Amino acid sequence: MKQLSSVKAFEGQQIQISHHSDLLNCDMQASIFLPPAAEHQAVPALYWLSGLTCNDLNFVTKAGGQKIASELGVAIVCPDTSPRGEGVPDDSEGAWDFGLGAGFYVNATQEPWKKNYQMCDYVSMELPKLIESQFNIDAQLKSIFGHSMGGHGALTIGLKNQDSYKSVSAFSPIVAPMQCAWGVKAFENYLGNDRDQWKDYDACELLECLGESLPTLIDQGTADGFLEEQLMTDLYVKAAGDAKGDIRVRYQQGYDHSYFFIATFIEEHIRFHSGHLQASESEC
């Protein structure tokens, strides 16, 4: 691991690192905010997954989460949204919704993608192991959240790893990628034509199959231009109706898909996760 930068923010440190990923077969960057509490004790961690076209710095520079994270004593880890670098395949037409910047947090099974696009295991296994070995972070206390494509990633990874995370939340998530153009394009390329394989990365399908969820908070803006055709939040509300667990979906009037929306409610999401992380810590 190589530290690229470290700057003081709200008495903590905002750090950017690079490292070689064996899973993704390339060098990767990630950003970590360490609260001041990490100077003297292992702290819980929130893993933030960003959306299409983003990288590890979008949340860091736009969401404004460092102040409340510092106050509550939680770290925030922001991975990139796809593998990067020379030799990593990209969309042949340079489209923004597939390829570089659009890994969709799946483990690709198709050529030429499978050599590099193993984002599900990278986010849930390889990166946490690295972060926990290098920083003062409690490996037993972590939660996951994200936006749009990253909201899809957070929900699906959280649902499939309920023993690993304490809670999950999302802003404007793609909840039914099997039924929207963004998801179908990504899944056909990364996973092939067997739609049964797609279900492992569709939050609605997973929730209906598993029948239970981690504590979940979803915020969706009503003025989001992607709501009807790509995000389909109502389908998750329907799937959650028969599922066990505390699942809250809030429609926020007049908000769109941007980071202004995220910045408005980010404190509530971090407090939501901190409450579950602290409760788990007390039980230990």
Query: Catalytic residue numbers?
Result: 148, 224, 257
Cis peptide before 112 (omega within 30 of 0): yes
Residue 104, Cβ neighbours under 10 Å: how many?
Answer: 29
> For residue 218, what are the β-bridge partners?
170, 249
- Of 230, 139, 129, residue with least CA distance to 186: 230
State the DSSP H helix or E strand holding residue 204, giving kind and residue range, or none if neither. Answer: helix 203-210
d(CA 166, CA 173): 19
Cβ neighbours of 200 (radius 10 Å): 16
CA atoms within 13 A on the CB side of 209: 12
Residues in Cβ contact with 211 at an 8 Å cutoff, skipping those fewer than 6 apart: 242, 243, 244
